[in-house]
Structure 1
Amino acid sequence: MTQPQFVHLRMHSEYSVTDSTVRLDSAIKKVKEQGVGALGLTDLNNIFGGLIFYTHARKAGVKALMGCDLVIQNETDRDKPFRMAVLCQNHEGYKNLCEILTHAWLKNQYMGHGETKLEWLFKHHEGLIFLSGGPEGQIAQLCLSGKKAEAIVLAKKMKSLWGDRFFLELQRAGRPSDEAVVRYHLSIADECDIPVVATHPIQFLEPEDFDAHDIRVCIARGDVLADKSRPKLYSKEQYLKSPEEMISLFADVPSAIANTVEIAKRCNLEGVLSKPQLPLFPTPDGMSLDDYIDQLSHEGLEQRLEFLYPDKEKREKERPRYEERLQFELGIIKKMGFPGYFLIVQDFINWSKQNGVAVGPGRGSGAGSLVAYSLRITDMDPLRYDLLFERFLNPERVSMPDFDVDFCQYNRQRTINYVKSRYGEDAVSQIATFGTMGAKGVIRDVGRVLGISYSLCDKVSRLIPAQPGKNVTLAEAIKTVPDLKDLIEKDESVAQLVDKALPLEGLVRNLGMHAGGVLIAPGKLTDFCPLYSQDENPDNVISQFDKKDVENVGLVKFDFLGLTTLTILEFAMRFIRQLDPNTTLRLEAIPIDDPETYHLFQVGNTSAVFQFESDGMRKLLRDARPDCLEDLIALNALYRPGPMDLIPEYIACKHGEKEVHYPDPRLEPVLKETYGIMVYQEQVMRVAQIIGGYSLGGADLLRRAMGKKQVDEMKRQRAVFVKGAVERGMAEDKAGDLFDLMEKFAGYGFNKSHACAYSYVAYQTAYLKVHYPAPFMAANMCLVMDSGEKLKHLIDDCFLNDISVLPPDINKSEWEFVPTSMHEIRYGLGGIKGIPKDAAEAIVREREQNGPYKDLFDLVSRVDRTNFSKRTLLSFVQAGVFDSLEPNRAKLAANIDNAIALSESESSNAGQESLFADVMDEVQPEYIDAKPWSAYKELIGERDVMGCVFRGHFYGAVQEEAAQLHPTPIINVKPAQRSANRRSPSVQVAGIASNIKQSFNKEGRLMGSFVLDDGTSTISVTCFGDDWMIYRNIVKSDELVFVRGNAREDKFSATGVSITARSVEVPATLRAKNSTVLQIELKDPNFDFDLLKTFLEDHRPDVDDAGCRVSVKVMDHGKEASFVFSKDWEVYLNQTLLDELEEIPGLDYHLASKGEA
């Protein structure tokens, strides 16, 4: 590449997050095409994309100039910060930049930005090149505000400290103040003998990208594109200009162009990339790491053997194979240089176990290590379950070991804090992740900026399929979803929306925190990368690089994963100890062969059982009837796309309905537990070892190659395997067939170590569900208090398992769901929406100290008003927490304002914040009476604040209306066989709708499903194509729905049957069909007519809902006046409207049928 004439030193990329659409690889490619061998990246106040840029540019043959556009604190007005760019001249400059950025984000945030103080740049300046900034630089701002003399003083100071590493920037980017700043900078440069440099603030790649960039800026700022008053911060000139354009632009200042090349030459950053560097683990008495891991492993193995084999004779018989395996593993670990890694992991895991932080038994391939088991890193005996060490640490493929460790999610931070105390606060952080603009999100973002209605954006967004494990792009959705393509072709605003969204899709949108990654550095983290914190909270400190880049700079990631199930087990154990303080139960010591626990699996009663909760899995359990942990491990591994096809064969072989076949008699010990089927990756490795003569390390390499479908490598491996198999007595053609079989299974074989550990956790949860049902279910409820749908699911399961869930009660409930016995749970106040934890705890605390509450007024008088609001009290009333004191909820709701007003008045008189109980004892407040709410309204209230209902069933409240259509009870619905010439007969059912979902079929057409419940049973209903486009707008959760359709067998349904709908109707639709007019009669001629109009407006039908006309009749002194509202005033005749009409005093209503009208 020829010597460049100009080099871009300034560029914001998508990693600036708020103000650029530049994708790094595209920029690197364009610069290379321009014949320029270098490029500077100076993202706004970060180097999130710095290492990606550095590695990708070097790979492309482009010199990467890593830097940053710093936000500089304005000491006189913090609302107007300055900007200055720095470039890393060498590794010392890189480390200084890391230090500066870390200090800004962790110690000096203002208005959402980490700000750099100029004094830090004077202190940490070695190895950095400083660019003064364009119009936003401090020198420029001083000049523009008439303070050129101060600007000169500052420029001289900068030159005296930074010498020839300081340049005054000249920018001509089409902004109003650019040319004035150029003149000022040239003048100061001449007076102070400071070199100038031409830079261009790149924000987008091509001139035509300006509109997309403008939208991106609006998204970040919350602006609307059409708003003429919004600030215009960027010009159309801020694209990546060619060298020729830049040379022409600064033809009058050739030195400014030449200095870009000079600066690029001086930036030679090396030493950033590194091999993994572990912190030094402290050992006692100066022992070597090798000796210390030897000592701890042998001591730990002895303890494990005593637990596994309490009988000494049996223990001594088994000991040799354990000792041999331990020595083998230790030899590899020491040879590969990883004792320190194992010691670090065992240290924080054992600290956690000793300090009340629940830790999982293992996760991933780490459970295959006996050393890990001996050090108590894992809790599964790898020899008993034939778990392979080489699957975790392969001596033939040098790479860092990687233990994934599960912690109780509530206490995980305690372990991280321990690690900080052990290795230093500045040596530990979590890891960044970068969220991008996905197809659904970018449609909503762009729609808001363009001013397109939310409903239309939502409609488009819903048409984009959601596929597990895959981000469906807009282009893919347009290609595969005909409904979306049709909408784009027919609606110009949708076409514009999609057209504007496409260029932004996939850009970085926000910063997040890795779910489990924790970095532990050998010294300061800032020697490797800068840190970031969104809120200066020390618990939220993360690296500015993602997990791949932190490894590239030499940092080692330790996985501290939060697993909700461990928290559930921890809560359950706490509840068990509260109910039985003398319990000797220890989860790690429960019997692994408990018949009652396996019966629970066999009947599919596994709601809330880890990994075995889904309807499909529950059916599999009923068919397979597992009776040992090995069965659970196999089912866990089989129930996934791919191996699912093997389930029928597995079940048939298990139950003796089909003969078990082994590809070779020598493989029986390997495949016996899975009835001749290769289920696990470890089995594929064993086959390669036994038949092909591979070492287990070589077999792991073979497994990896098979999984990645590397064609050339597979040809080579096939020859090796067949040759080895023939040498060991197998026919060549049979060896080839076996290799094909292995290749097939390796493509979807599961990691047995992971399945083993997680199945053990599943068994623990099932054991507690069987033997300690209420504590276990209460623990589950505590973890989903913010989800009404999940709570309802758990409560329904409690009823099925004879566990009573008592309703919330102001005098008995606590914040949490608490078991009152082994078969009874009291609903927690935390399960009521709108109840702050502080308020609930204050209520419980006052009750414990001063006795039960007498009524609503007593509660409000005794608890500090700062703890709750009117909304809190109404939520309590709707949830029925006062029912034991006053069953009329309408009466309680009507008196909330009085209770608050009285308590505030008394509090004011007493001259104190808290409410005084003494006066309330003397004067018993009087309740305003109110007509009780209808049963339906009470249920709606419970649902709204709890997500479920306690004192009845929605269907019971509307059963009379449902009965008019004579539906078949759902419990009686059976799948009907189709005859040769006609489809199965139809069935009509009615029930309360829930679990409404929308998805796409294989042709990309919309389909929907929901569940109906009529109190006798539940059934799943599916609607296809155009039908669903109509029905999805009328089917609403917790409302009555009538369905006519065909019942069919459904092996994935909990009841084994589902309905394909042919017609769906709701009461409001039927009422609209059968009623011409809603006739309202006003008894009082002075009735507030505006109140009626407001009521009608609140109940207008949605676009796709059927409406009903409204007429009004007024009686005045025996005379009748009536009129009919126009069609614009139609209402939606649902149950809510009818209930609210009942409560309005002074009116009656009547639905006039078509025959009456």
Structure 2
Amino acid sequence: MFLNCKTWFSYRYGTFSTQELVDTAADTGLSALALTNINSTADLWDFVDFCRNKNIKPIAGAEIRNGDEFCYLLLAKNDGGLLEINRFLSAHLQEELPFPERPDCFSEVFVIYPVGKYAAEELKAHEFIGVLAGELNRLKKQELQAFPKKWLIRHPVTVQDKTYFNVHRLLRAIGKNTLITKLDATDFASPDEMFVPEAELMAAFRNFPVIITNTLQLIDACSIQTELHTDKNKRCFSASPEDDRILLEKLAMEGLDYRYGNNPVARQRVVKELKIINELNFNAYFLIVWDVIRYAQNRGFYHVGRGSGANSIVAYCLKITDVDPIKLDLYFERFLNPHRTSPPDFDIDFSWKDRDEVIDYIFKRYGKDHVSLLGMYSTFQRRAVIRELGKVFGLPKEEIDQLVRGKDQPMNEDKIQRTILKYGKLLENFPNHHSIHPGGMLISEKPIYQYTVNEMPPKGFCTAQVDMFLAEKIGLFKLDILSQRGLGHIKEAIRLVKKNRGIDIDIHRVEQFMVDPKVANQIKQADTIGCFYIESPAMRQLLTKLKCEDYLTLVAASSIIRPGVAQSGMMKQYIERFHDPNKIVYLHPKMKELLEETYGVMVYQEDVIKVAHHFGGMDMGEADILRRAMSGKYRGHDKFIQIREKFFANCRELGYEEAVTAEVWRQIESFGGYSFSKAHSASFAVESYQSLYLKTYYPQEFMVAVINNFGGFYSTEFYFHELKRTGAKVHPPCVNSSDYLTNISGDEVYVGMIHIEQLEKSLCERILMERERSGPYLGLHDFIERTHAGPEMLNILISVGAFGFTGLGKKKLLWQANFLQKRQTEPMDAPALFREAPMEFVLPDFPDYPLEDAIDEINVLGFALTDMFRLCADDGRGTVMAGEIGGLLGKTVEILGQLVTTKDVRTVNREHMAFGTFLDPKGDWLDTVHFPTTMKRFPFQGKGFYRLKGRVVQEFGVYALEVNFMKKIGLKDKKALL
């Protein structure tokens, strides 16, 4: 009887979770239920799964609306009908077209209209009229008798009870971005859209038994046969599964010869992996990934294959990854094994500039009817939902801000504030809107619409309404096509080296980079600014503490830097044991066997799986569930709790002491969502070595490449600082020498015009195009004639020094620009045949002051290219330099620093402390520690200069300043600058 039920995936409308809807239906005694979310089938497969577990017949459908107007219900007769519904929704959502008043494209779908939309005599065989209990008095007896089969019971279910009806009203106000008091009755559902006993519903229609019969017959006519947790992926890459097996074996053996030559151990492992891949029907998956990589390489794109896929020697031989699993002792079963409870996937990183082309290739190669980006959804969280509710109730921003902070700061609450907090709690974790998974793609054997609606976000690629959890439940394996700027750095650096020095670099010679003494010294000195994953202050400190100079140590560092290891105290343990083997303590003899490589510390996900299996007595399937629960890849915490109970029960049976078991579990639990697989860390380390090699041998081109990719841990000005430290001569933007991006010729660097924050892009393009067409600009007059730049843009260009080639000071140029601009006429369609000689001016001498240039650069670029400390109002008297503190351990010193970045943390007592990074007047880097008492008295006050006072401390060879006094220093006043 319940043909029109919604969940919270009717975004900002429904209030049931999918599980709660089905559970409530089961408690009500229902034997069939239809899910009809608004213009969506997002949670259909969870609904089907939950219904089957409760012995309820699931019916798939959707409620079609144009804005707030209810148009009709669609119910799938069968799997073919679901395909039709998903295609129908996709076509209109992707093109943002209104839904038709009366669809005519269905053969396997029932369409149910509201009363009054159409007369019964107008309806086709698959069309019906849905009647609410309150509409029975509107039915015409004559029409009912003439067309008795056309009427059905329609009782919508939207909310659980009166409380959730209020939640629904608040959601509607949020969705409409309006005050709750401004909603009309037509803006929200009827208050009675709740579950009622089926007998009560049938009693309401007792005088219309034919309608009851029609409804039951329609329910009987609907079904969903699709099995869950079965392979729905593209079945073959070539003509048949057997052809796939033969092709994959051929490619793997060819790659084996390339990677290892004649190596019996490697050959034996390749054969073993190929057997497992074939038995688990993963041949096509490997070949599809190989095909994507082959396309990218042919286009000159760089990639990193990472994640658990790097555990596979077949992937290594196919050049999907550059991680040697034999060298790192990576076991294939972490990626693929018969016990694994979830489908594995490859994570492939491309440059942010190349990723969209790779995605486009996959859509075109495998067909838009079979490919989709993976969806996800964002949820309401406490702070955001309180802000939204505050706006709905019309509170001023100051009061909303106070409410948001209220969790940590008690306040006197009035009735409205209490209402906001009450409903804010109820709304936490509600889905808010559809979004895109960071990189997941689905490639299906049947049309993708058999399983999901595809929307078209601004990204421009079809995106599934299902998320990764539902894709897994359906049986679709995702392929992660990700982007990162580190690969952009590498690609751009190689291009610049070729252009500037005429040198071709084979960046895949990673094995040679790993044994290069200069590269090793670069890591050991932690001179890694700009290098992928190893440039942050914390990572540079860790590299110094570990005296890192080799690949295996860098792999470990890539993992122990993660919060799970660091916050549990295991990072410190690892460093201590790395330096002093006498400090290695194993919790149990079994742990030595499992964790000897990592000094008794769990560092990788593989370590957790090994401990769970060999120490905790879990089978590989259970260990894999633990890994997923630990890394947040399950919804909710039920799985984690179950595994915990099983772990402790097994350990008791095995006779371990309770304290030992508890400590092992604490270490496992502390990973919670932050641990890496070893293969993942190894993949990151490979890319880090590629960056390090370029920074070591071609530091200027490398730093320009980092600047041109606008990505990294630090802001752009500090990469220019590093560039200057290499000896490069950095010039401000110049209309004759600069390009759109920063360029380099020899050791001469011109800042790109893109960094002129207020420069119109159209003018920038015109400047470059005109220069390309007609040669360099002769002077200001020539520039104005050829580009017709307006006065505001001219002032900006002059201020930043873009006409320095003229030899005239900025003040003279500004005076000339003002005069010439007034004489500027309309743009000419073609260049003049004869150029007028520029008018000569006799101007007084205007004094120029070097520090004025720095102020202009800050105003125009956002940072200065000259020495910033020349602007500082503190002369640094009585201070020391960062490079000197190594000899002042335990002493209290003062240092003048420019703030680079801060990292806020909470102590075990939830107090606020921070770590800081500064540059000193010599350009050296300084790390600082700010404990809670210091933070309260001397908080950071934004970027700029600070005079710091504190005690020099040291840990594992890393020196820092434990700050007990900090004062923000301003810039010199204008008179002092002149």
Give the TM-score taking structure 2 as reference length: 0.84
Structure-2 residue corresponding to 1:357: 301
From 87, 90, 110, the counterpart of 1:102: 90
Q: In the alignment, what sits opposite 1:770?
A: 696
8 Å CA contact 1:815–1:837 kept in 2: the answer is no
**Match in the other structure for 2:743:** 818
- Is 1:70 the counterpart of 2:31? The answer is no
Q: Which of 425-434 and 844-853 deviates more?
A: 844-853
Residues 166/1139 of structure 1: CA separation in 2 closer, same or farther (3 Å cut): farther
> Does the C-alpha gap of structure 1 residues 104 and 899 become closer, same or farther in structure 2, counting only changes over 3 Å?
farther
Alignment partner, residue 289 of structure 2: 345
Mapping 1:632-671, distance limit 5 Å: 632-641=554-563, 643-644=565-566, 645-647=569-571, 650-651=574-575, 658=582
Structure 1 residues 993 and 371: alpha-carbon distance in aligned structure 2, compared to 1, 3 A threshold: closer
1:169 to 100, 111, 130: 130
Instruction: Describe the shift of the 1:928–1:21 C-alpha distance in structure 2 as closer, same or farther (beyond 3 A).
Output: farther
For residues 471 and 954 of structure 2, the distance between their equivalents in structure 1, rounded to whole angstroms, comes to: 48
Cα deviation for residue 597 of structure 1 reads: 0.7
CA contact (8 A) 1:789 1:948 kept: no
Aligned to 1:327: 271
SS of equivalent residue, structure 2 residue 470: helix
1:31 and 2:18 aligned: no
Name 1:782's counterpart in structure 2.
708
Give the whole-Å Cα distance in 1 for the aligned partners of 2:586 and 2:191.
Answer: 71
In 1, distance between residues paired with 2:846 and 2:16?
64
2:334 is the alignment partner of 1:391:
yes
The answer as to whether partners of 2:40 and 2:89 remain within 8 angstroms in 1 is yes
Of the candidates 788, 794, 812, which is equivalent to residue 719 of structure 2?
Answer: 794
Q: Check the 8 A contact 1:630/1:673 in 2, yes or no.
A: no
* Cα distance in 2, alignment partners of residues 928 and 224 from structure 1: 63
Q: How does 1:343-742 map to 2 (within 5 A)?
A: 343-360=287-304, 362-397=305-340, 400-458=343-401, 460-461=403-404, 463=405, 478=407, 481=408, 483=409, 486-487=410-411, 489=412, 495=418, 497-534=420-457, 539-588=460-509, 590-641=512-563, 643-644=565-566, 645-647=569-571, 650-651=574-575, 658=582, 674=598, 679-680=603-604, 682=606, 710-711=643-644, 713-714=646-647
Aligned to 1:301: 256
Alpha-carbon distance change, 123 to 432 in structure 1, aligned in 2, over 3 angstroms? same
Q: Match of 2:555, as an amino acid?
A: I
Q: 1:237 aligns with which of 166, 186, 191?
A: 191
Say whether 1:760 aligns with 2:686.
yes
Structure-2 separation of matches of 1:24 and 1:876: 59
Task: Count residues in correspondence.
Answer: 958
2:99 is matched with which residue? 116
- 1:105, distance to aligned residue in structure 2 (A): 2.4
Worse-superposed segment, 400-409 or 692-701? 692-701
User: CA offset at residue 883 of structure 1?
Assistant: 4.3
Query: Which letter does structure 1 place at the counterpart of 2:870?
Result: G
AA matched with 2:735: I
Within 1, Cα distance between the matches of 2:551 and 2:277? 30
State the shift of 1:1021 in Å.
Answer: 7.1
1:1057 to 952, 961, 971: 961
**Cα distance change, pair 969–442 in 1 and its aligned pair in 2 (3 A):** farther
- The aligned amino acid for 1:220 is G
Q: Give the aligned partner of residue 40 of structure 1.
A: 34
**Deviation sequence 1:538-557 (CA, Å, 0-9, x none):** x4201121122123233332
Aligned equivalents of 1:929 and 1:214: distance in 2?
Answer: 72
Q: What does residue 133 of structure 1 align with?
A: 114
Amino acid at match of 1:863: T
Distance 1:235 1:901, change over 3 A: farther
1:43 partner SS: strand
Q: Return the offset for 1:796.
A: 2.7
- Greater relative CO, 1 or 2 (CA 8 Å, sep 6+): 2
Shift of 1:594: 0.5
Matched, 1:291 2:246: yes
Aligned CA distance change for structure 1 residues 604 and 431 (closer, same or farther; 3 Å) = same
2:4 counterpart SS class: coil
Counterpart amino acid of 1:942? E
- 5+ residue gaps, structure 1, are 1-6, 73-78, 141-150, 174-178, 307-314, 464-476, 723-731, 1068-1133, 1144-1157
| Cα distance change of structure 1 residues 1027 and 649 upon mapping to structure 2, 3 Å threshold | closer
Offset of 1:599 from its aligned partner? Answer: 0.6
Shift of 1:626: 2.2
Cα offsets for 1:285-326 (capped at 9, x unmatched): 9963322222222222122224xxxxxxxx4xxx22222222
Q: What are the superposed Cα offsets for residues 107-152 of structure 1, whole Å, 9 maximum, x if unpaired? A: x423xxxx33467x323232x2211136xxxx53xxxxxxxxxx54
Q: Which amino acid aligns with 1:783?
A: N
What residue in structure 2 maps to residue 1015 of structure 1? 921
State the 1:342 CA deviation.
1.8
Change (3 A) 1:326 1:17: same
Give the letter aligned to residue 963 of structure 2: I
CA–CA separation in structure 1 for the residues paired with 2:887 and 2:217: 83
Partner amino acid for 1:527?
Answer: Q
Distance between the aligned counterparts of 1:814 and 1:133, measured in 2? 62
* One-letter amino acid matched to 1:89: K
Conserved in 1, the CA contact under 8 Å of 2:76 and 2:222? yes
The answer for the alignment partner of 1:87 in structure 2 is: 75
Pairwise CA RMSD: 4.8
Query: Residue type of the partner of 1:170?
Result: V
Aligned partners of 1:419 and 1:428 also within 8 Å = yes
Higher Rg of the two aligned structures: 1
1:1105-1120 equivalent positions in 2, closer than 5 A = none
Corresponding residue number in structure 1 for 2:633: none
Supply the distance in 2 between the matched residues of 1:574 and 1:43 (Cα, whole angstroms).
51
Residues of 2 paired with 1:1051 and 1:929: CA distance?
Answer: 61
Give runs of aligned pairs for residues 46-61 of structure 1, distance below 5 A.
46-61=40-55
> Is the 8 Å Cα contact of residues 741 and 753 (structure 2) preserved in structure 1?
yes
CA drift of 1:97 comes to 0.8
Query: Which amino acid in the other structure matches residue 379 of structure 2?
Result: T
Say if 1:895 and 1:928, in contact at 8 Å, map to a contact too.
Answer: no
Q: Give the distance between the partners of 1:1042 and 1:623, measured in 2 at CA.
A: 27
What letter matches 1:850 in structure 2? S
- Cα deviation per residue 1:894-937 (whole Å; 9 max; x = unaligned)? 8878766654x332xx5x4x8x6668745549899999999888
Structure 2 gap ranges (5+):
631-639
Query: Cα gap change, 1:1027/1:582 in structure 2, threshold over 3 Å: closer, same or farther?
Result: closer
The one-character-per-residue Cα deviations of 1:191-250 (angstroms, maximum 9, x if unpaired) are 65563334344444322334433332233233244558x895225625425348766876
Q: Quick one: structure 1 residues 836 and 457, their matched pair in 2 at CA, closer, same or farther if it must change by over 3 Å?
A: farther
Structure 1 residues 773 and 327, CA, compared in 2 at 3 Å: closer, same or farther? same
Residue aligned with 1:52, SS? helix
Amino acid across the alignment from 2:371:
V
The answer to whether the 8 A contact 1:519-1:556 is kept is yes
Q: CA contact under 8 A between 2:71 and 2:101: conserved in structure 1? A: no
User: What letter matches 1:109 in structure 2?
Assistant: E
- Residues 68-101 of structure 1, C-alpha deviation per residue, up to 9 Å, x if partnerless? 11246xxxxxx99771111123222112112211
Helix, strand or coil at the partner of 2:376? strand
Output the CA distance in 2 between the equivalents of 1:208 and 1:702: 37
Q: Distance in 1 between matches of 2:572 and 2:17?
A: 49
Q: Distance in 2 between matches of 1:497 and 1:325?
A: 60
Q: Give distance in 1, aligned partners of 2:753 and 2:886.
A: 42
Structure 1 residue 514: Cα displacement:
1.1
In 1, the alpha carbon distance for the partners of 2:731 and 2:480 equals 40
Superposition deviation, residue 370 in structure 1: 1.8
TM-score (norm 1): 0.72
